[in-house]
Structure 1
Amino acid sequence: MPTFLVPGQDLSAALPPESLARLGRIKLAVDPDGLFRSNRQLPS
């Protein structure tokens, strides 16, 4: 769960690769300029 990640860990420690890929596609479609950000960025 992303809420329980410790400093230095990214979302790949909390979510499976398929979910990260899907989130990445959604982020690219909805926010291609990277306007919206969070403390936990999607890994590239």
Structure 2
Amino acid sequence: IEAQLAADPMERTAIIFVGRSLAARGFGESSLYDAHYQRRFRGRDGL
């Protein structure tokens, strides 16, 4: 795999979700794109 990637590097990847996880309920949304979420290296004043 390492040699193949060295010869032809990946430019994009994807995650494909299949199964019961798609029907999950009762969980919090991700804070990944929440501008008001205080991150480890960027505080709230870093907006």
TM (norm. structure 1) is 0.16
Higher helix share: 1
TM-score (norm 2): 0.16
Q: Which structure has the higher relative contact order (CA within 8 Å, separation 6+)? A: 1
